[in-house]
Amino acid sequence: MWEYRDMMKRMVYPVRIDTIRYDRKFSFVVFVEDIQSSHQIIDNIMDIGDEIGYPYEVIVSAKDQVTDDYYSDEIKVVGTGLNRRSDGIQRSLKSSTGNYFVIFDPNIRYSLSYADLLYGYAETGSSEVLVSEILGFQTDVLRSVGGWRDLSYGEDIDLLVRVIDNYGVITYPFYGLKQIDLTELIKSTDSIRSGKIKKLRDLIISCNFKYQDIKTIAKILDKSSRISRLLYLSKILSNFARIRPYERPKNNYLTIMERIMESILAKEFLKITTVDFKPSLAISTKTAEYLAGESPLWRITEENGNFVREKI
C-alpha cells in the first residue's frame, strides 16, 4: 500500500540555466516485488528527476522474472528473479553511472519536495549520507565501503553504519524514521511466511547485537516471550553465519541512531538550503524506549520533549 507524501507545500527557487552543473548525474534506484506493477513508482521517480534538472538514470531490480516493454532506454533493469533486495541494490551500484546514488522505497509516493531535498543535498557537495524517506549517497562513497553485503534483511543498517562511521550523516526526514525503526524492522518479519529466522539472523548480524542487546530488546518488545525465543534462536544461528558483523564498541543500530541524533542537534540539516521546515524524528514508542534506556543522548532529548514519537 502506498503512503501519500504530497501534502507538503513546496518552495519554488529560480535557477539560472548557466549555473546548473551537468557534470552531476543521479542514479535513482528501486527494488520492487513485481516489475509489471511498478509503473507508478517509476513514474514518481522520473517526475522527481525531471524536477531536479540534472541528468539521471533509473535503475530497477525485482523479485519476479518478467520483463516489461514499459521501460525506455533511460531505465535499466539490472536483475530479475532475485531473492534478496541487497543483491538488487548491489547490482544497481555496480551498473551506476551517476555521481549520486539515491534509493527509493517502492511503497511510498514521494512529493516533489524530495526533488528540492536532493537538489540541495547535491549542492552541499558533502560526502555524508542523506537519511530521509530516501537514502542518498555519493556513489564513490558507497564503492569505498564495499556497498551492500549479501544479507537477506537489515542490509541498510549494515551499510549505513559503515558509511556513517567513515563519512558522517545529514539527517532530514520529512515524516520520521520508519524505514530504520527497530520495532518496525522486527515486526515486519511477522508477515514473512518462510525464512523468518534467517531474516532475523541477518538483522542481528547487521545490527551487531550481543546477547545482552537481545535480552533488552526482547523485554521491551514482547511480554509473551514469542519474540524472545525467535530472537535468541536467530542470535545463536548468527554465530555460524558466513557474514560477520561490522564491529563497533556499541551495537551498530545504537551507533547509527546516536549519530543521527547528533546530526539533528548539530543542525547539520541546515546545510541543505532548498527546504525550510524542521526534520521529523518520529519513531515508535518501543524503539524510543529502547534508545532512551541505552543512550544518554536519546534519553536527555526524550526528557526534554525534543522529538516526536508515534504509537504503533
Q: What residues make up the domain containing 106?
A: 3-176
Nearest CA-CA partner of 29 in 37, 18, 38: 38
Task: Name the grid cell of 130.
Answer: 542523506
Residues 170 and 26 occupy one common structural domain = yes
- Given pLDDT bands bounded at 50, 70 and 90, which one contains residue 307? low
Nearest CA-CA partner of 176 in 234, 79, 105: 105
User: What integer best gives the mean pLDDT of the chain?
Assistant: 87
- pLDDT cut 70: percent of the chain above it: 85
- Given pLDDT bands bounded at 50, 70 and 90, which one contains residue 41? very high
Q: What is the pLDDT of residue 82?
A: 86
Residues 231 and 195 occupy one common structural domain = yes
22-50: average pLDDT? 91
From 156, 176, 196, give the residue that closes a domain: 176
Residues 150-197: pLDDT tens digits? 999 999 999 999 999 999 999 999 999 999 999 999 988 876 656 889
Residues 197 and 103 occupy one common structural domain = no
- pLDDT cut 90: percent of the chain above it: 72
Residues 35 and 139 occupy one common structural domain = yes
- Given pLDDT bands bounded at 50, 70 and 90, which one contains residue 72? low
Residues 74 and 189 occupy one common structural domain = no
User: Domain tally for the chain?
Assistant: 2
CA distance 281 to 30: 24
Q: What is the pLDDT of residue 287?
A: 96
Q: What is the pLDDT of residue 191?
A: 65
Residues 33 and 170 occupy one common structural domain = yes
Residues 71 and 127 occupy one common structural domain = yes
Residues 61 and 123 occupy one common structural domain = yes
Does the residue 280 lie in any domain?
Answer: no
* Residue with cell string 532475485: 82
201-215: average pLDDT? 97
Residues 221-280: pLDDT tens digits? 876 678 889 999 999 999 999 999 999 999 999 999 999 999 999 999 999 999 988 899
